[in-house]
Amino acid sequence: MKWTKSLLNFFYPNRCPACDRFLTAQELLCTECAEKLLLGQDAYCHVCGKPDCMCSRKSLAYDGAVVCSAYAEGTVPAILQLKTSGNTNFAIFAARILAERLRNTDLQLDCVIPVPMHRSKERMRGYNQAALIAEEIARLLELPLYENILIKNQSSIEQHRLSAAERSKHPESFGIHEKRLDGMRILLCDDVLTTGNTLNRCAALLKENGAAAVFAAAAATTIQNNRRKEL
């Protein structure tokens, strides 16, 4: 209800996750930031999802990608707010852009699956940001959401503190529940597409379990020479 949102906004002001301006209860980003953060659809490769295409340098397990923003100066605060401060506005904003872009393709999708977070980390944060994105996309596209297919195994190494070269030496460990996905065309969602290793490993697992195709959706994609340690 609108009055409930207004009351909550009085005690817990809604702020733009990119610039910290006050927003109305219904807004996700201020108008200026919303326009600034959008990455044009012709500004990235629709196969690998990178502005600096990596298709010739990397074997991809996923079959295509759609992204919302570049991980650049304006996007960094919004991503960090999402990861550390509980401001989930950017996840919902990105999901709505991604859903609209997916509607304008000829992709025939069967379900949406988020990149998983380890249970202990999700309990500490209170949510998995990839799952927030996946849930909103699934709602808008009227697709089933499967949150318990992929499993994130515990790791003593935090990936966001590693360089691209270090990530390849210390890959994340994922597992999959014994649910057959034969012939399914899956949308795999994550918050940031950095090296593509996470999406690759998850897509490979889904295909090993029978998926016919896996397409990636990410709220932001990094640009070469702008892969920051805060991720």
Ordered per-residue pLDDT tens for the chain, 231 residues: 444 444 444 447 899 999 999 999 899 999 999 999 999 999 999 999 999 999 999 999 999 999 999 998 889 999 999 988 789 999 999 999 999 999 999 999 999 999 999 888 888 888 999 999 999 999 999 999 999 999 998 754 554 554 555 555 445 789 998 778 999 999 999 999 999 999 999 999 999 999 999 999 999 999 875 544 444
d(C-alpha 165, C-alpha 180), whole Å? 33
Rounded to an integer, what distance in angstroms lies between the CA atom of residue 6 and that of residue 182?
46
Residue 196 to residue 218: CA distance in whole angstroms: 10
pTM (2 d.p.): 0.86
Quote the CA–CA distance of 15 and 30 in Å, as a whole number. Answer: 8
Under 8 Å between Cβ of 157 and 184: no
The residue among 98, 101, 37, 95 whose CA lies nearest residue 69 is: 37
Sheet of strand 65-71: strand arrangement: 65-71, 213-222, 185-193, 111-114
